[in-house]
A and B are shown apart, each in its own frame.
Chain A
């Protein structure tokens, strides 16, 4: 009874007068070309895989003629794009897909004859039909779980070799053995569709352009143009709930480079999806301040690579952090002021090289992430009794000279006895206390003659306190026997 219900339902799904075509080509064809060919004939296409497309051809006979004419036209259009295709035109998508995989050339099946047309086809085609890998941006209807091949193996153990054999089985008995869901196999074997065609949505471009009546040379008037374009872009992004992952600014210059006009193009990789027009405009302008166009501009184009919009959940219990838009704008301004490599978050590196560090982009983690970080108070055994009631003592910091400063050190009994500075602002004098030497070396394994990062080092470090003065960290470079000031304990 269940099977009969399914059969009747499947008949209802199949709209009368529908004509579907399937196009398939060889592996290795340029991606997207097959879909382009299909779109020239119908806006309702379903991309099953990069090499297979199903298209709704209903109503095209009034434009081209009968199904064979349409098929030949399809093949000719594909040949113009240097594609060799198989074409099948039938009354259902399933039949078209099954036939196009099995038969070369053109295959036409009159509506109503689908079951008979697919009956002699091998049953293994069902596996091909349902295990095609879905590509990004495509829809794969009827994709089964990995148990698909097991079901087909079961059919083969039952002695079924063709789709006609499967279609001839009693639907009730089949449902009783495999379950109601598995009766879809029988519908496919009859060439019936299990669902409607889901048209592929063409990739949407988020781009705005403006031709200027008079060329613009300065950035200030350009900011108004960019603001207008960004407003339109923001509206488009909001409409589609998208944000910009990469912002492209193309400025067409009046300067020509041979037969073509020069284009000044900048691309900004954004740290998060941003669609705020003011932020995008500011980022673009700051980038153009650092990289100005070499000539006047008469056409401006802004485009973004879209990405799904951000969903932000704010908290009432934690202090709010600046939004990514604010941080991006701030970082862009700081980069313009200080230089791109001089602003960001510091990071430790896995090296014993003194003073080694790395810079990474400043993107503070979510406030809630603080709970996942170390939350254990520092308890150091400092041995002091005057410092802290809880035994938590501050850590003495070093002010490090990024380029160690050459100094003169008088050594007595193997220890520094006085320090003389050769730079203003730093005080020298007699050594009151010192500790060392702490010998370190590294980087010597790097091959010579190349720019070595890290540079090799081999030195003896000393902690030195001057009489009534500061506490320094000095080192003696062992290869040159010269002394340097590395930093101040502060």
Chain B
């Protein structure tokens, strides 16, 4: 039996949610409960994720240009909207392609699109506004997926974002049904219970002759990185051009 003083201390830490700052005291995540997960409806990836991205956690889709980040994000949104949930996308640099989303079967009526600054606006100002918008959406609650696109932000600028930003985001969504997803060029701010999907892509082509040669799609390699290495997988999926 623990010493009474230790029990009081643990109780006080639990009351202030400070017990979760250590990964060793993380609450056990119920991976068997499908309601705690956001599936992507891509069986290979879902199997690798053991069901999907966790709700109430901050996860990441990271990778270089043309690595399939947007492709998987649209899959996530399409799956969520098909289930009747609503999704939000904070588009920091206004790069969202509506035709691609429609082709990916995203229910556009259930998607809140927040368009960031147009081309040429100061990057730091665009990020500041995008993060404020993200915070507003998360605080409103009720969204199944909330994603923010930081893919085109230079790594130097990303590192200038205050470190406290991401724990604050995590505190907002903790215990909620919302899965927050960052789209970044490199791992940035996954929460303790979240997942990082590290992506690498290669375009695939069809046809041999000049006349028949055409872009077939993307071959995306998905590598899942989880806290405490509980889930770690490597899978390849093919995305086709609509």
Contact = CB atoms under 8 A, between A and B. Distances in A.
Contacts of B69: 490
A322 interface: yes
A23 B86 CA distance: 57
Which of A363, A400, A427 counts the most chain B CB atoms within 10 A? Answer: A400
- Chain B at the A interface: SS class: mixed
B106 to A, nearest CB: 9
Contacts of A490: 65-71, 151, 201
Contacts of A397: 70-71, 73-74, 97, 100-101, 104, 239
Given A330-B137, A386-B238, A471-B66, A395 B74 contact: yes
A198 to B, nearest CB: 43
A311 B18 CA distance: 42
Contact of A382 (B102, B105, B207, B240): B240
Interface string B75-107: 100000011111000000011111111111101
Given A342-B114, A342-B115, A383-B216, 12 more contacts: A326-B142, A333-B136, A347-B108, A384-B240, A387-B44, A394-B71, A394-B74, A396-B239, A399-B96, A400-B95, A433-B203, A435-B213
Contacts of B140: 322, 326-327, 329-330
B168 interface: no
A137 B116 CA distance: 47
B43 A388 contact: yes
Contact of B240 (A337, A380, A425, A487): A380
A388 B238 contact: yes
B97 A398 contact: yes
Interface of B: 41-44, 64-75, 82-86, 94-105, 107-116, 118-119, 129, 132-133, 136-137, 140-144, 151-152, 154, 177, 201, 203, 205-207, 210, 213-220, 236-242
Contacts of A345: 108-113
Given A319-B84, A386-B238, A433-B205, A400 B74 contact: no
Contacts of B102: 348
Given A320-B142, A346-B96, A396 B218 contact: yes
A106 B113 CA distance: 67
A488 interface: yes
Nearest to A315: B84
A378 interface: yes
Given A370-B84, A382-B217, A400 B237 contact: no
A364 B65 contact: no
Interface of A: 318-322, 326-327, 329-330, 333-334, 337-338, 342-348, 355, 357, 359, 362-365, 367, 370, 373-375, 378, 380, 382-384, 386-390, 392-403, 405, 415, 425-427, 433-435, 463, 465, 469-471, 487-490
Most buried by A among B65, B67, B105, B210: B65
Contacts of B203: 433, 465, 471, 489
Contacts of B237: 387-388, 393-394
A393 B240 contact: yes
Contacts of A346: 96, 98, 101, 108, 111, 113
A471 B47 CA distance: 28
B86 A395 contact: no
**5 tightest Cβ-Cβ pairs between the two chains A and B:** A322-B142, A387-B238, A470-B66, A470-B65, A357-B98
